[in-house]
Each structure stands twice: as C-alpha cells, then as structure tokens.
Structure 1
Amino acid sequence: MSTSPLPFSPLPVVTGAMHYTHGPSSRRAEGVPRGRVVQFDLTDSTVYPGTTRTVRVFVPAQYDGSEPAALMVFQDGRLYLDDAEDMRAGTVLENLVHEGSMPVTVGVFVDPGQPTNRNAEYDLADDRYVTFLLDEVLPAVEQRTGVRFTDDPARRAICGGSSGGNCAFTAAWHRPDAFGLVLGFVSSFAQIPGGDPYPALIRSAEDKPIRVFLEANRFDLRHDQRERNWYSENLLVAAALAERGYDHRLVLGDGGHSPNHGGVVLPDALRWLWR
C-alpha cells in the first residue's frame, strides 16, 4: 500500500466539545460559476400520506442536459443548502464541480415531512424512505426541472446528519442499485427503534456494493453511557465495515451532536467519496 506525506500539525489537548473553522472550499470563490436552485413543495405522498415538504434542487452551471447528471440527495435539505448554516453544500458543490473533484452533480435537498414526521421517516431501518425517494421525490424533480439523472449507482450519493445519517445508510443498504455512495454525519444509529441492527447485519449479510464515509464526534449524545451511545454506535458500524472489507472511511471530531465538524470536513469527504 502506498503512503502519502502529511505536514506536521500539533494535536490539541481536548477536554470538551470543540468548534471548527471552515476552510476555503466552503466559501464562495471568484471565478467559480454559480448554480441555480429550483424550489417546490411536495404536497401529497402515497408512502407518507398526510405529509408535505419542501424540495430544493441545486443545478450546477455546468449542467447542460447533454448527458444525465450525477445525483446527490441530502436529508434535512434546508440546513444543508443554507450558507448561513454549517454545511454550505451548494457552495461546496459549486467549488468541487468547478475544480473537477466531482462530476457534474445535481443536489436534491429534501426536507422532512410535515407535520413532525422526521423521525418516522429517518429512523426506521426499512426500505420505506428510499422507496419514497425513488418513486415520488426524484420523478417529481425530473418533471419540474427537466434534469435527467444517471442510473449508475456509482454516480449517485445520499447524505444526511443525525437521524438523516442513519437514514442515508439505510437507503443505500436496501437499494445499493440506486445509491452506491453514502455520507453520514454524527449518525443516530443509536436511535433506531429496537436498536442499531447494522453491526450485526453488515457482518452477516452479503456484501453490498457501497462506499461509505462516516463522521462521528467524541462528545456526541450519551458519549459516556453504556446504552444508546451515539458515538460508540458509529464506531461499531465502522468496525463492522472494516471487518468485511468495505470501502469506507471514518473521521472523528471532538464536537458534540452538531453539524459543525461535519460541515468543515464536507469538501474533503466529497473528494474522497467521489474520487
């Protein structure tokens, strides 16, 4: 295995949650073409009757319709697209597509169903939510924007944080033919009803053709408790992926249950995921 040199950086003494500063790839840069955002409300659902939600579609300036775009779906969409928040995903996508670290990728930012349907959608470890994405959300996006998505799962990613993180993993686990790339930040595996099934499932099930990036924080919820420990459940999922030889990466921060560290590492996480 080849190695890559890294410059020396002192390791800080940490006794509590830290706050991280964003790097240049999370900021708008001169000369980088701006994408456009199309927003619409999804006011009915067969999978989740009685719910409504807002969907925002980020279309990079480089998309010209000549060939299908790569796809990236984000749960808790508003928080990921808003430059006033930690993720700043629209700006990151603009920068990475411009520099060639990602293909021309359309971002679909999906809010949780209202009223108060987020946990019912994100935390269950079944195929209901991914079915909703594939049968209802993405067809609506294509119809309203005219964007065409590739069918290649290696060019289709799904991302989320907290409950949205385990939701992203669940979607790819059930439908690796639809999503081959997974990105989870401080994922709430510990909150899955009935307990986190994935360490055992990953070890026992047939390998799935997915690439997984996980970010976890040392001071996440219940980080010093024996049960329902957000931090340790992410470590257990990553350990199972390692034992089965999955293409995966785990990055640890010293934050709490917060998107801050995840937002700071998002550009490099995407570079790794789409390499």
Structure 2
Amino acid sequence: MSLYRLPCAVILLFASSLVSSQMPLPPPAAARPVPPTRDPHTPGYVAAKELSDAELPPANEDGNFILGPTHTPAPETLPRTDVPHGDVSAFVLDSADSRFYPGIAREAGTFGTPDPNDPAKLVVTTSHPAPYTRRVTVYVPKQYVPGTSAPFIIGADGPDAVLFTTLDSLIAEHRVPAMIVISISNGGGDAQGSERGLEYDTMSARYAEFVEHEVLPQVESRFHVKLTQDPEGRATMGGSSGGSCALIMAWYHPEWYHRVLTYSGTYINQQWPSDAKTPHGAWEFHEHLIPASPRKPLRIWMEVGDRDLLNPNVMRDNMHDWVLANENMARVLKAKGYHYQFVFAQNAGHTDRGVKQQTLPEALEYLWQGYRATGR
C-alpha cells in the first residue's frame, strides 16, 4: 500500500517513531547517593545510653539514647475501639489571602548553582511568584470542654493520622493533656526556591507569625475552640525541614512556644534567600545560635536515623549531613543545660515511619512533662 493512502494518524505515528528512534535519549537523572549507615559510637558523636532492642528511653529522663534496630509500632499508635476518638476536620487557605506568604515556586526539574564567591550560598534563578492552596487539618479530642483554653500542637506537613490516633490513647489514659492538633500542609515544593523551603527553612519569626495571625484565629472561629495563650501549653512538631521549622518557631517566639518535637530535623544549610544574620541557615543553631545565646525555656525531643540523609550536593559546603547536624544539636543543648531527649535510631532512614510509630507515645509524654493548665 502506498504511504499516501495510509490514514493521517498512522503516518504521524510512523513519523514520530522514526524520529524518536534516531534521536539520542536524554541521560538518566543522577540518583542521590545512598546514605551510609552511621555508627553512634563514632568519635565526636555525643555519649549516649545504648538501649536493649525494642526498649524506649524513660519518658521523664533527659539525655542521649541509642535505639535498637527493631521498630515495632507502639500499641498507642494503632486504632482502638475502647477509647474516644477525636474529631478531625479541615479547611483550605488560599495564598491570595495571605500577607505573609503570597506564594512562590521553583520551576520543575531545576535546582540552583553555588555562588562562585561563597559555596555556602545557592543561587536560584528559576523561582518565581506562584499561587497555592493549603489544607489545615484540625484534631479536637472528645475530652475538650467548650469554652476552656486548650493546649495544642502545631504540626508541619499535615495531616498526621499517626499523631491523631496516638493522642486518642494517650489522652484517654491521662498520660498527656487533652490537646488540640493543628496540622498545616506546606505551600508546595521542597528546598531552596520553593514555597515549602521558604516557610520551613527560613531562619526568622515569619512562619510562627503566619500561624499566629492567619491560622490560629481561623481554627478558633471555625471549630468553636479556645487555644491557650500560655507558651507552656503550646508545642511545635515536624520531620525533616518541618522539624527545623518547629524549632525555628519556638526559637524566635519563645513567648509563644516552649515544647518542640522533631524527627530527622533539617538543621543544615538550606535557607534561601541567604541572610547575613544566619548565613548557614539552620546549621547556625548548633554552630552559633544555641552556644552563644542565653538558654531559652524550651523542652526538646529529637531523633535521627543511622541511615539519615547525607547530601554533599552541588554546594560541597560540608553542612548537609543530617546525622552530624543532630549530633551537634544534642551536644550544644546539653552544654547549655536544656531539657532535651535525643534518640539515635539504628536501622532507620530519614523521617523513618517505623521509628515514629515506635517512639511517638514516649516522645509526647516526654514533651508534655510538667505541664499544668493555667486557664490562659
């Protein structure tokens, strides 16, 4: 049959396959190196108490602990029928309504290049204004008494079903106060040039102020709850950059938050745009800020995995090692006399789900140690 008598669609398909067969395929994207397994007894790491496999640290004890390799979910993290279940609802925030975060995005498939004058700075030219919507998920325990001031947790990268389920059990057993959870989804993307990176990795009071002025009033009005003004009754929580964000919130506004819980906290150099006051981003916490500042009234629970991230990336700045960053955090917190508990988890990756399910009940009990409601 003549080519001219074939249907047009067939001709196009034939031509397309001919061209594609003659064009070289693009090179595959370089895979991120697999992080090495770190030894918690490495010289320079903090001295820590080694726990037997499946053992957890005492919920009333400060210090450094090494968790064994088996991560069985704690029974409190699994749904139960014999305890009251909190009400979980959500609403949506639009970037057009925010005076703190009108929205940015980094173009897909792009990253940045090191500043030739300072490899600790990343130059990103593909970030631009972009709208977003975010979901805010709210957990209200059945034990909440309308009209009373409730303690609460701000959670990053929400919603957090494991946290909601765990609180059902812990609240029913009177192991933590009856608290509200506000799980706030990020504005999109990740790392430098993205909305999530701007929100979570920026070393400033901005994100805490966004939550205080644009999120909490909506939670109170929509769900007819009253959120405490007492910083002892306010906690922050997150994993990865959400973990660094949790500490950033409390660090810059300790009059609002006294309790911080982080998994695989990104205490590394990932801030963008660069800021001369904190040129190394969240790496500054253990490099300068905590050692050089008076002790703040914070209680901190933190975890890192033995296979947590090690990302030399294009910057080659030696400030992208998550394990070293968290080890350094434990060292400076101890030196300054903070109430903190640091867990080094064996057989665990970045924000490891198994570790979270094993440790979250104990972490929450440690975090809320000493809380007394004030009515504020």
Is the aligned partner of 1:176 residue 2:254?
yes
Aligned-residue CA RMSD (Å):
2.3
Instruction: Report the CA distance between 1:10 and its aligned residue.
Output: 5.0
The answer on 1:259 being equivalent to 2:335 is no
Q: Which stretch shows the higher mean deviation, 157-166 or 58-67?
A: 58-67
CA deviations over 1:98-139 (Å, ceiling 9, x no partner): 111111100001000146511111011111111111111111
Asked if the contact 2:53–2:69 (Cα under 8 Å) also holds between the matched residues in 1, the reply is no
Structure 2 residue matching 1:197: 3-state secondary structure: helix
Q: Is 1:214 equivalent to 2:214 in the alignment?
A: no
Aligned residues: 258
Paired with 2:299 and 2:244, the residues of 1 have a C-alpha distance of 14
Do the aligned residues in 2 keep the contact of 1:45 with 1:51 (CA within 8 Å)?
Answer: no
Work out which of the residue numbers 65, 73, 85 in structure 1 matches 2:146: 65
Paired residues of 2:77 and 2:166 also in contact (CA < 8 A): yes
The answer to whether the Cα contact below 8 Å between 2:305 and 2:352 also exists between their aligned partners in 1 is: no
The 5 A counterparts of 1:14-163 are 20-43=71-94, 44-49=97-102, 50-78=131-159, 80-81=160-161, 88-114=162-188, 117-163=195-241
Contact 1:125 1:192 in 2 (8 A): no
1:22–1:236 Cα change, 3 Å: same
Q: Secondary structure at the match of 1:56?
A: strand
Do the aligned residues in 2 keep the contact of 1:161 with 1:259 (CA within 8 Å)?
no
1:10/1:132 Cα in 2 relative to 1: closer, same or farther (>3 Å)? Answer: closer
Output the amino acid matched with 1:256. G
TM-score, with length taken from structure 2: 0.65
4+ long deviations beyond 6 Å: none
* Structure 1 residue identity aligned to 2:339: D
For residue 251 of structure 2, give the secondary structure of its aligned residue in structure 1: helix
Provide TM-score, normalisation by structure 1: 0.88
**CA shift in 2, pair 1:89/1:113, >3 Å:** same
Q: Report how far residue 159 of structure 1 moved.
A: 0.1
Matches of 1:19 and 1:110, distance apart in 2:
31
> Which runs of no fewer than 5 residues in structure 2 stay unpaired?
1-50, 55-67, 103-130, 272-278, 370-376
* Superposition deviation, residue 227 in structure 1: 3.9
Q: Distance in 2 between matches of 1:96 and 1:206?
A: 34
In 1, Cα distance between the equivalents of 2:359 and 2:330?
18
Do the aligned partners of residues 227 and 178 (structure 1) sit closer, same or farther apart at CA in structure 2, a change above 3 Å counting? closer
1:147 to partner: Cα distance: 0.8
Between the aligned partners of 1:172 and 1:128, the Cα distance in structure 2 is 12
**Matches of 1:29 and 1:68 in 2, distance apart?**
27
Checking the alignment, whether the CA contact within 8 Å between 1:75 and 1:112 is kept in structure 2 is yes
Deviation at 1:263, TM superposition (A): 3.3
Instruction: Give the letter for the 2:166 counterpart.
Output: V
Cα distance in 1 between the residues matched to 2:177 and 2:214: 25
> What residue in structure 2 maps to residue 245 of structure 1?
337
| Cα distance change on mapping 1:19 and 1:10 into 2, 3 Å | closer
Query: Match of 2:87, as an amino acid?
Result: R
User: Residues of 1 paired with 2:53 and 2:302: CA distance?
Assistant: 24
Give SS of 1:251's match: strand
SS of 1:177's partner is coil
Residues 36-77 of structure 1 deviation map (CA, whole Å, 9 limit, x = unaligned): 112100112110014321001000000121411111110001
Seen in structure 2, the aligned counterparts of structure 1 residues 128 and 19 have a Cα distance that, compared at 3 Å, is farther
**Structure 1: runs of 5 or more not aligned:** 1-7, 12-16, 82-87
What code does the residue aligned with 1:186 have? S
